[in-house]
Amino acid sequence: MRTLNILFSFALMTAMFAVLSCGGGGGGGSSTPGDVVKTAMENLADANYDAAIAVYVTKNGEELSEKEKNKMKAFLPSAKEDLDKNGGIKEIQIIKEIISEDGNTATVKTQMIYGNGKKGNISSTKLIKVNGKWRVRIN
Residues 62, 17: Cα–Cα separation, whole Å: 15
Domains observed in the chain: 2-138 (3.10.450.50)
Sign of the Cα pseudo-torsion (56, 60, 64, 68, in order): negative
Q: What are the per-10-residue average pLDDT scores of the chain (139 residues)?
A: 43 36 41 94 95 94 95 94 95 97 97 96 96 93
SS3 52: helix
Q: Which amino acid, residue 6?
A: I
User: What is residue 68's predicted lDDT score, i.e. its pLDDT?
Assistant: 95
Summarize the chain as % helix, strand, coil (round to 5).
Answer: 35, 30, 35
User: What is residue 18's predicted lDDT score, i.e. its pLDDT?
Assistant: 34
Q: List the helix and strand counts (H, then E) for the chain.
A: 4, 5
Closest CA to 25 of 67, 55, 5, 58: 55
Helices (H), the chain: 2-10, 33-45, 49-53, 66-85
Q: How many CA atoms lie within 13 A of 99 on its CB side?
A: 10
Please report which helix (H) or strand (E) contains residue 115, including its range.
Answer: none
User: What is residue 31's predicted lDDT score, i.e. its pLDDT?
Assistant: 82
pTM over 0.85: no
User: What is residue 134's predicted lDDT score, i.e. its pLDDT?
Assistant: 97
